[in-house]
Amino acid sequence: MRKIARGLLVVMIGVLFAPSAHAVIGTLDTVPAATLLVPYFEVDTVNANGINTLFSVQNASATAVLAHVTIWTDLSAPVTNFNIYLTGYDMQTIDLGNLIRNGVLPQTASAGQDPGDLVSPKGPLSQDINFASCSGQLPPAPFLPSFVTQVKSLLTGGPDSVNQCGGRALGDGIARGYLTIDTVNNCTQRFPGDVGYFGAGGTGDATNQNVLMGDFFYVNPTLNLVQGATAVHIEASATNPETSVAGQYTFYGRYVNFLASDNREPLAGTWTTQYTDAKTDLIVWRDAKVNQNRFACPAIPGARPSWYPLGREQVALFDMQEEPAVYPAPAPGDPTPPVNLIPFPAAAGRVKVGIGASFGLQALAKEGLLYLNLNTTVAPAGANPPEDPAASQSYVLSIRFPEATNGPDVLSTAVTASALDSSTQTSHIFLPLP
């Protein structure tokens, strides 16, 4: 009798093995994807009630999958990675604060490491299989204290054990960076930049299963602030020419010599969003277009890493009467330009928008529209991506504080900026501004 029930279940799961959504390449839609990008995170490494970031990973399909999480610094150097096993329809929420401060990793395990289903239980519609490669890795042990120290140091711009750095040292004890989460076929310990991680058609560690969904939250208990947004969903296709022909711009192109073997769609290069003086923060992720590893300490704009800071084609601001202004660029050759003339220098960051020199992006009016053409050439990247060396993918999220910005009850929201192009076909729109 039980065999019959199991048989029925297998048939039902079999029906569900197909990817759960159609892949539309070349636009940023919130659909199940092969890679998720959490474009920026912040974790207070000192104060557990300070700023924190949580994110979730969900499996949209009945098929069990492995998700490979990579933590990157704000200058795009990989710091560490780990795997999450998801049964069909599973979800995991990860507290980055607990991970970075205490080294606590999400506890999951595939059938071989969890025969009693005590770690990763599953529902009757969910596949639960064994990934033999995960034996000895899942469920993961916490990071060793020495490694926790190193992770915290790297994400706050400090050195690792061999005195190499990975990020900016802003001196506030806040760990910063971004996350990528890829579907993989084994419990790999490789980074996306390592040989073998990608192979055309999903033949490397990474697969092309468009099944992941996710979101993230910025939480600050001290300031009574929470904002949430969906992660950036990056679909894969091994057949679409935009993501399978060598020379095309793909999301991980910088790690595969722009051969498109990652098969993942790129993001956009030009964005528009509203701003309000002192009530808008921009979360901006950018592609350095080079395979960046750790570098001699410290990070210095114009010196190291070689691509830092990133330029832009045009940043413009409109006021509410559509009076435009091009955001000024640093004077050529100026060795120490004002910081806010290069508002988005890093691979990931938060920039406050407002009137006055103290803001990372100086507004010219109380309210208006931002036009962010963040395409740029990057000298160390050479003529890459071959499709369009001036193209540079990015992502922009706007955090808003529509009411008071102080007091015990601060209202805040997060809204994705509107994409004006796709890096599959970069527009290079220059506004004809005076």
Partner 1 sequence: MKKGLLLMVIAVVALGASVAPPAHAVVCTVDNVPAATLLLPYFEVDLANPNGADTTFTINNASATAVLAHVTLWTDLGVPTQTFDIYLTGYDVEKVDLRLLFAAGVTPRTASAGQDPAEKISPHGPVSQDINFASCNGRLPLPPLTAAEVAHIRAAHTGAASPTFGGNCSGLAVGDNIARGYVTIDSVNACNPFLPDDPLYVPYITFQNVFFGNFEYVNRTLTTTYAGALVGVEASFSNPEVSVPGQYTFYGRYNNYTATDRREPLATQWQTRILSNAAFGQNTDLIVWRDPGVASTPFACGGNPSWYPLPLENLVLFDEQEFPVVPAPATSNLFAAAAQRIPASSLGSPYASGYVRATLSLPAGTGSVNPPEDVRARQSYVFAVTSSNGKYGIGLNGFALDTACAVLSHDANQPIVNPFMGTVFPGDGSTNVPVSQKVNFSFSEKVTITPTAFKIECPTGSNIPFTSNPAGSGPSFSFQLTPTPSLPANTACKATGFASQITGTSHVGANPPADIVTNFTTAP
Binder among 186, 369, 377, 390 for partner 1 (CB under 8 A): 369
Binder among 22, 141, 331, 333 for partner 1 (CB under 8 A): 22
First to last CA, the chain: 79
Q: x/- binding map, residues 252-291, to partner 1, per CB under 8 A?
A: --------------------x-x-----------------
Of 105-144, which residues contact partner 1 (CB under 8 A)? 116-117, 121-126
Of 178-217, which residues contact partner 1 (CB under 8 A)? 213, 215, 217
Of 324-353, which residues contact partner 1 (CB under 8 A)? 324
In the complex, the smallest distance separating the C-beta of residue 368 from partner 1, rounded to whole angstroms, is: 8
Q: What is the DSSP annotation of 107-130?
A: ----TTT-TTSSSS---TTS----
CA–CA separation, 108 and 18 (whole Å)? 24
Integer angstrom CA distances of residue 399 from 52, 53, 173, 414: 15, 14, 22, 4
406 makes contact with partner 1 (CB under 8 A): no
**Candidate ranges 20-28, 191-199, 247-255, 286-294; the one touching partner 1 (CB under 8 A):** 20-28
Binder among 39, 50, 88, 354 for partner 1 (CB under 8 A): 88
**Candidate ranges 166-174, 187-195, 197-205, 224-232; the one touching partner 1 (CB under 8 A):** 224-232
Give, as one character, the DSSP assignment of residue 18: S
Closest to partner 1 by CB, 80 or 248:
248
| Cβ atoms of residues 67 and 183 within 8 Å | yes
**Candidate ranges 97-105, 156-164, 173-181, 421-429; the one touching partner 1 (CB under 8 A):** 421-429
Closest to partner 1 by CB, 182 or 235:
235
Q: Which residue in this structure is represented by tokens 């069909």?
A: 88
91 makes contact with partner 1 (CB under 8 A): yes
Taking the CB of residue 246, how many other CB atoms lie within 10 A of it?
Answer: 14
The tokens describing 249, both together, are 């711009």
**Candidate ranges 89-97, 170-178, 245-253, 343-351; the one touching partner 1 (CB under 8 A):** 89-97
| Cβ atoms of residues 272 and 429 within 8 Å | no
Q: Where are the beta strands (DSSP E) in 120-173?
A: 164-165
| Cβ atoms of residues 119 and 107 within 8 Å | yes
**Candidate ranges 2-10, 73-81, 245-253, 332-340; the one touching partner 1 (CB under 8 A):** 2-10
3-state SS class at 401: coil
| Cβ atoms of residues 235 and 264 within 8 Å | yes
**Candidate ranges 86-94, 130-138, 156-164, 353-361; the one touching partner 1 (CB under 8 A):** 86-94
Count of residues making up the chain: 434
CA–CA separation, 347 and 168 (whole Å)? 10
Closest to partner 1 by CB, 113 or 120:
120
Of 225-254, which residues contact partner 1 (CB under 8 A)? 225-230
Our CA angle for 124, 129, 133, nearest 5°, is 155
Parallel, antiparallel or unpaired: strands 65-73 and 78-86:
antiparallel
In the complex, the smallest distance separating the C-beta of residue 14 from partner 1, rounded to whole angstroms, is: 11
In the complex, the smallest distance separating the C-beta of residue 324 from partner 1, rounded to whole angstroms, is: 5
69 makes contact with partner 1 (CB under 8 A): no
